Structure 1
Amino acid sequence: MEFTAIPGVGEKTAASLARLDDAERALRDGDVAALARAPGLTAGRAAAIARGAIRKRHGDDGGFLATSHTRDLYEDVLGLLQARTETTYAEKRLETLFPSTAESRIEEVRAFASEAMAREVDDAVLDALSDVAPLKSPPTQRVRERCLATADAERYAETDEAYPELSVEIVEDGRDIAELARSYSTVVVIDETFAGIDVEGDVRVWPDALDRPADIVPERLLNFFAANRSRLLAAAEVHEAAGMDPACSLADLRDGLSRVDDDGELVGDDELTRLTNAVDDVSAAVSTAESVANDHLRDAIREQDVTIEGTDFLSLVEQGARVDSLLDRELADQYDDALAKAREHVVDSLSLKSGEDGPVERLFPTDPTFPVEHREDVASRLKTELGAARDQRAARLKAELATDLGDLREPVEALVRDALERDVELAVARFARDFECVMPEFGGSGFAIEGGRSPLLDVDFADVDPVDYTVEGVTLLSGVNSGGKTSTLDLVGVVVLLAHMGLPVPAERVRLETFEELHYYAKSQGTLDAGAFEATLRDFADLTEGAENRLVLVDELESITEPGASAKIIAGILEELDGQDATAVFVSHLAGGIREAADFHVAVDGIEAVGLEDGQLVVNRSPVKDHLARSTPELIVEKLAGESGNAFYDRLLKKF
């Protein structure tokens, strides 16, 4: 795919996308989490790129949202969907849903939405989803007990780039490799020319090292699983709670995760634990062993029957007198016993096995001396050998675990992705459930809404009165103040937006044509000055030119200037729209004046107030076709005329 062909993608962004392993799939599926892994891309930018890719694939020019108020309404609708997500991923993923004129795109989303609406919304699934997030890549961690070696400068650069966790060393011959083997627990030589080399230490000749990262640096894979433990377990829980078919064995996944801690270190292997503890305890064990030996010799000296008193003899010894010959002659056996006890203590306290205690035999001088002191070089050697054994076992176990987890690496990506996509589906399902939605039907001209209720009203949805409204062509909508004219326009806008997004709509039944653009103009705040008035006229001049099959919603345009001029302007706009076979609903209190000024028969619908109760209007929210609704002042005068015997109200009522 040519990434720069996507609207809004330049060379720099294209280069970032090219570094992803699955960029084309992510663009096709709208996977904003995968796209956001590209260098320099935020989740918001990833969503925008995904939208651009979808538009390009379906040939959508992105012109449906034709006015700023239309775009605001779309943001409100999108916000209702996003409020029903549990994950940030789903919130961003929903931004890839947009109103389109492309039948292929609408049908694509309708298929998704129909399947989503069939999902059961279960609290256990929602709870599990709250801990799911896209998988992250942990930072590179240096591995210091292992290195790579090569005599080839070109392979050095390639290897250094492939394995930033390890040191890569240049060697010339076997002596260089032997030197490395004294500094590292494991040396991996990547040149075949060194095959069969015989040096002391753990030296492996693997010419195919670049192809086996799980063996060379298993820590990379273990760190990935450790860093994503909570996300993976949460995704597994989502699959179980929702009855989803997982992309991998959840038992194998949990078993693998149980063998590595949050730092990527192995757990659960007793032998590795023994060696680790032994390395950590060498110094303490040797120090205590010295005390064991010296305590034994002190006791032996005190009890020794020699010419001088034992206590005097001990005092001499402790003052530094040369007593080697005396110890050798009088206490040779006791000295051997003391060393045996000291060595035994080291072996027992470190839980050393046969073959590991070689340095322990050389840890204390065999020539009698007092006090007994260990040989530091031997203690260091013991610690080094135990450390090497520990590191080699850890490396082997890590490689084995990495092999097991390696089989899960790609499946867990799908596991988490499927869990996150379930959140997107459930957001649509919750929206449809909360607002009692149905899938709309496309066909005919204009729109027909039965039992529609706006989800944007500031009241409980259950308390919203249902509205039936059908419009074909150009129509004026009249009605009393606070009777619901604006909320009816909002309902029409919401229904049309959702339908063109391919989503369910809040109504009992909806039929509409596929509109090319949605123009929604909100009510102006007061009379405009000359400059603003001119700019508004320019906007409506542009509106009268362009594509057919547009839906135009306008709320009280007459407020832009004085009523007489407004009626003439609105009449002129309606004439142009009627000539283009557009669908339009203009809310206006000047329906009579507009009819008189127009050169065609303007349809007028009315939201009728049926009376007043306790000072409050009682309104039939569904517009009545071909009916000019009465105004609020007329209703009040009518009420007073009926309640009072004053003829003034009767005469005033005749004026309406």
Structure 2
Amino acid sequence: MEFESIPGVGGKTAAALAELEAPEAALESGDVLTIASAPGITEGRAAAIARGAIQRRHDDPGGFLATDRAKSLYDDALSLLQERAVTQYAEKRLETLYPSPCASRIQEVHQLVDRALSRDPDSDVLDALGGVDPLAEPSGLRVRDRCLATADAEQYAKAKNRMPELSAEVVDDARDIDELARSYATVFVLDESFAGIDIDGDVRILPNALEEPETVVPERLLSFFATNREPILAAAEVHRLAGLEPPCELDTLINGLDRVDDDGTIVGDEELRRLEVAVDDLDAAVGTAESVANDHLRDAIKERNVTIEGQDFLSLVEQGARVDSLLARELDEDFETALKKARTHLRDSLSLAPEEGELADRIFGGDPTFPISRREDAVSRLKNELTAARDRRASTLKSELAADLAELREPVDQLVRNALELDVELAIARFATDFDCVMPEFGDPETGFEIRAGRSPLLDVDFQHVDPVDYGVEGVTLLSGVNSGGKTSLLDLVGLVVILAHMGLPVPAESVRLQRFTELHYYAKSQGTLDAGAFESTLQEFGDLISGADGRLVLVDELESITEPGASAKIIAGILEALDTQGATAVFVSHLADQIRAAADVPVAVDGIQAVGLVDGELQVDRSPVKDHLARSTPELIVEKLAGEASDASFYESLLEKF
């Protein structure tokens, strides 16, 4: 696949996409999560790339949203969807939905919507989704007791790239490996040519080491699961609550996660815990054992009356005997008891194994002394043995757990992906439920649109209080009506329904039937009369619009405000004539409907949003336009009301005759 052929993808982005394991598949499916894992590509950028790839796949020319107002309506529609997403991922993923004139793209989204509408947006599921995030690769992991060694420069470069957690070293011969073995606990040699070398230390010839990271550096996998513990558990809970079929056995996964701590260390193994405590508490335990021994010996000395006859004492001194000798003779039994108490305390307090206890016993011994003191060389040896045993145990457990978790690595990716994609579906389901939506039907070309009981979710009132509107148009039509009668809101509703339908989504109505439009041109109401330059630019824009307008939907709100009313009526009449000739569908909101119709050389339909009267100064309006009806203006209604209420109505009646 030529990545730069995707709209919006340049050389730098193409190079980043090429680093993905399966970029074509990700682009083909619009997989924002995978695309966002490429270097330097954010989720927002990934959504834009996915959208471009989808356009190319469906041979979509783009440009359906042809005006700023049309784009603004799309943004409003997208916001309504995104507000119902729980995860940031779903918000970005929804951005891959866009209005398209291509039947294949619309049908593709229909498949997503079919799944979505079968979902139940259960509140517990939504709460669980709050803990789901895309999985993150841990950074900054460094393992210093192992290294990779190779005599090949290319292998060396691969080793540094694929296993940055370990040091990579270049070696020329066995002597270099022997030197590394003195500095590292384990050396993994990547060259099979070194097989059979006899070197002291843990040297392993593993030509496939770079393909077996869980064997060489199990900490990587353990750190991954530790880093992503919460989103993984949340995704598992989503599967359980939503009744999704998980890609792996959830109990097995949870048990595996329970065996690794947040910092990637092994937990739950009693033997490892015993060794860790023994190493950490050794110095304190030796100190306490000394105190136990000396306390016993001190008490024994206090209770003992030692009597030495002068001749015996003189004889001992002449023989060079020290006080220790006297203690040995008089307190030998108590000294042995004190040593036994110290050794027992040390064994028991550290829960030492028999072979470790033998080393511990050597810490206290020798000739009787007071106070009794430790033998530092014996303490150091015991500590080294316990540390080595701890590290061996931890290494074995890490390798075993990494081997178990390696089988869950891909399923965990799918587990989280399923949960995130469920959030996308639930956002669509919630949108459809909140706004009483229905799937639209697409008819033949040139059938325009027909909306039954449509209600706009964009109005600044509670949706349940929005009046339903029926409206349909084929060809070109003028829409008349009183001020504040809902003409602009109706245009917004039509534009929104058309955009949602072409996105492949449900629409807020009881039923909708429409043709597949090629483009949506929506021109909002101008803010005041335009100067000559702006007026000229506006006319040029409509000139471009009319060229190739077949299949387009054109919505225009009070174009007459751009210049003088007399000229506006003639200009609008000319635009409508051209659109009618081109076979476009158009709705022009105007207060000059009568004048425009008179100026047009072709029959122009006029629909009207009918005001039914004034009640307490409030305009009462039937929001559904009446076909082939020129709506009365607000001034006419007021004059009519005054004519009916005044005692002398002659003045108001004369005014009324002029309408």
How many Å apart are 1:177 and its aligned residue?
6.0
Correspondence list, 1:459-538, <5 A: 459-538=461-540
Partner of 2:380: 380
Partner of 1:295: 295
Structure 2 SS opposite 1:121: coil
- Determine the C-alpha separation between the residues in 2 that align with 1:193 and 1:298: 66
- Out of 616, 619, 641, the position equivalent to 1:617 is 619
Contact 1:33 1:89 in 2 (8 A): yes
- Determine the C-alpha separation between the residues in 2 that align with 1:224 and 1:376: 41
Q: Which amino acid aligns with 1:571?
A: A
- Determine the C-alpha separation between the residues in 1 that align with 2:575 and 2:656: 33
- Determine the C-alpha separation between the residues in 2 that align with 1:556 and 1:305: 120
Contact 2:549 2:583 in 1 (8 A): no
Pair 194,277 (structure 1): closer, same or farther in 2 beyond 3 Å = farther
Partner of 1:397: 397
Correspondence list, 1:20-35, <5 A: 20-35=20-35
Partner of 2:657: 654
How many Å apart are 1:611 and its aligned residue?
1.5
Structure 2 SS opposite 1:367: coil
Q: Which amino acid aligns with 1:397?
A: L
- Out of 550, 569, 572, the position equivalent to 2:552 is 550
Structure 1 SS opposite 2:363: coil
Partner of 1:51: 51
Pair 170,533 (structure 1): closer, same or farther in 2 beyond 3 Å = closer
Larger mean Cα displacement after TM superposition, 361-370 or 74-83? 361-370
How many Å apart are 1:123 and its aligned residue?
1.4
- Determine the C-alpha separation between the residues in 2 that align with 1:547 and 1:560: 22
How many Å apart are 1:170 and its aligned residue?
5.5
Structure 2 SS opposite 1:371: coil
- Out of 606, 629, 632, the position equivalent to 2:631 is 629
Partner of 2:449: 447
- Determine the C-alpha separation between the residues in 2 that align with 1:547 and 1:245: 49
Partner of 1:69: 69
Pair 308,538 (structure 1): closer, same or farther in 2 beyond 3 Å = farther
Structure 2 SS opposite 1:600: coil
Partner of 1:121: 121
How many Å apart are 1:634 and its aligned residue?
0.7
- Determine the C-alpha separation between the residues in 2 that align with 1:361 and 1:153: 52
- Determine the C-alpha separation between the residues in 1 that align with 2:199 and 2:142: 26
Contact 2:119 2:425 in 1 (8 A): yes
How many Å apart are 1:172 and its aligned residue?
6.9
Q: Which amino acid aligns with 1:655?
A: K
Q: Which amino acid aligns with 1:257?
A: L
Structure 2 SS opposite 1:610: strand
- Residue 141 of structure 2 corresponds to residue 138 of structure 1: no
Structure 2 SS opposite 1:586: strand
How many Å apart are 1:306 and its aligned residue?
3.8
Q: Which amino acid aligns with 1:494?
A: L
- Determine the C-alpha separation between the residues in 2 that align with 1:573 and 1:162: 64
How many Å apart are 1:180 and its aligned residue?
5.6
Structure 2 SS opposite 1:96: coil
Larger mean Cα displacement after TM superposition, 597-606 or 159-168? 159-168
Q: Which amino acid aligns with 1:653?
A: L
Pair 581,5 (structure 1): closer, same or farther in 2 beyond 3 Å = same
- Determine the C-alpha separation between the residues in 1 that align with 2:186 and 2:343: 29
Correspondence list, 1:217-232, <5 A: 217-232=217-232
- Determine the C-alpha separation between the residues in 1 that align with 2:160 and 2:274: 34
Structure 1 SS opposite 2:356: coil
Larger mean Cα displacement after TM superposition, 514-523 or 372-381? 372-381
Contact 1:185 1:391 in 2 (8 A): no
Question: What percentage of aligned pairs have identical amino acids?
Answer: 69
Larger mean Cα displacement after TM superposition, 364-373 or 238-247? 364-373
How many Å apart are 1:497 and its aligned residue?
0.4
Q: Which amino acid aligns with 2:281?
A: D
How many Å apart are 1:341 and its aligned residue?
2.6
How many Å apart are 1:348 and its aligned residue?
1.5
How many Å apart are 1:199 and its aligned residue?
6.2
Deviations along 1:270-329, one digit per CA (max 9) or x if unpaired, are: 1111011011011111222222233333334444554469xxx9xxxxxxx953443444
- Determine the C-alpha separation between the residues in 2 that align with 1:467 and 1:461: 13
Correspondence list, 1:276-291, <5 A: 276-291=276-291
How many Å apart are 1:367 and its aligned residue?
3.5
Structure 2 SS opposite 1:617: strand
Partner of 1:413: 413
Correspondence list, 1:580-599, <5 A: 580-599=582-601
- Determine the C-alpha separation between the residues in 1 that align with 2:170 and 2:563: 84
Partner of 2:562: 560
Pair 371,201 (structure 1): closer, same or farther in 2 beyond 3 Å = farther
Structure 2 SS opposite 1:355: helix
Structure 1 SS opposite 2:45: helix
Q: Which amino acid aligns with 1:548?
A: D
How many Å apart are 1:191 and its aligned residue?
4.6
Contact 2:450 2:472 in 1 (8 A): yes
Partner of 2:78: 78
Structure 2 SS opposite 1:357: helix
Pair 545,146 (structure 1): closer, same or farther in 2 beyond 3 Å = same
Correspondence list, 1:98-177, <5 A: 98-150=98-150, 155-169=155-169
Pair 391,542 (structure 1): closer, same or farther in 2 beyond 3 Å = same
Runs of 5+ unmatched residues, structure 1 = 314-320
Provide the aligned length of Structure 1 versus Structure 2: 646
TM-score by length of 2: 0.93
Pair 282,510 (structure 1): closer, same or farther in 2 beyond 3 Å = same
How many Å apart are 1:185 and its aligned residue?
4.6
How many Å apart are 1:115 and its aligned residue?
2.5
- Out of 596, 599, 602, the position equivalent to 1:600 is 602
Pair 85,193 (structure 1): closer, same or farther in 2 beyond 3 Å = same
- Determine the C-alpha separation between the residues in 2 that align with 1:285 and 1:91: 57
- Determine the C-alpha separation between the residues in 2 that align with 1:142 and 1:641: 90
Q: Which amino acid aligns with 2:625?
A: P
How many Å apart are 1:493 and its aligned residue?
0.2
How many Å apart are 1:625 and its aligned residue?
1.1
- Determine the C-alpha separation between the residues in 2 that align with 1:175 and 1:327: 56
Q: Which amino acid aligns with 2:552?
A: R
- Determine the C-alpha separation between the residues in 2 that align with 1:586 and 1:289: 97
